[in-house]
Amino acid sequence: DIQMTQSPSSLSASVGDRVTITCRASQAITNYVAWFQQRPGKAPKSLIFAASSLLDGVPSRFSGSGSGTDFTLTISSLQPDDVATYYCQQYNTYPGTFGQGTKVEIK
């Protein structure tokens, strides 16, 4: 199985800060990487697919990048509504492994 190592496990930042979360795959994969947001007590919500494409309705402050083994989710200006845990996932091969998650809080 491909392992997805996500970092950091948690972060605290101020409103308006730029936030970056990284995910490293255990082997080179195509750009079939997705990012999800899970607010407390809610189902995951899909944000980004194919490493850098935003799903409809996702605010433009979210962006994704990367290739090979290293992928990044960036929130350009952190908002109170962004408090959540974020997960990466590779869907290049089965099983579609997830990263361990990054909990984002407001300082």
Partner 1 sequence: EVQLVQSGAEVQKPGESLNISCRGSGYSFTNYWIGWVRQQPGKGLEWVGVIYPGDSDIRYSPSFQGQVTISADKSTSTAYLQWSSLKASDTGMYYCARRDGYKGQDYWGQGTLVTVSS
Stretch that binds partner 1, among 16-24, 65-73, 74-82, 91-99 (CB under 8 A): 91-99
CA distance 41 to 92: 28
Q: Which of 10, 50, 67, 77 binds partner 1 (CB under 8 A)?
A: 50
Length of the chain: 107
DSSP-based three-state secondary structure for 107: coil
Q: Which of 13, 24, 58, 98 binds partner 1 (CB under 8 A)?
A: 98
For position 71 contacting partner 1 by CB under 8 A, the verdict is no
Integer distance in angstroms from the first to the last C-alpha of the chain? 36
For partner 1, give the closer residue by CB, 9 or 77.
9
Q: Which of 3, 46, 67, 79 binds partner 1 (CB under 8 A)?
A: 46
Place of tokens 């605010």: 59
Interaction with partner 1 in 4-43: which residues (CB under 8 A)? 32, 34, 36, 38, 43
43, HSE (Cβ side, Cα atoms, 13 Å):
2
CA 53 to chain centroid, in Å, comes to: 12
Contact positions toward partner 1, by CB under 8 A? 1, 32, 34, 36, 38, 43-46, 49-50, 53, 55, 87, 89, 91, 94-101
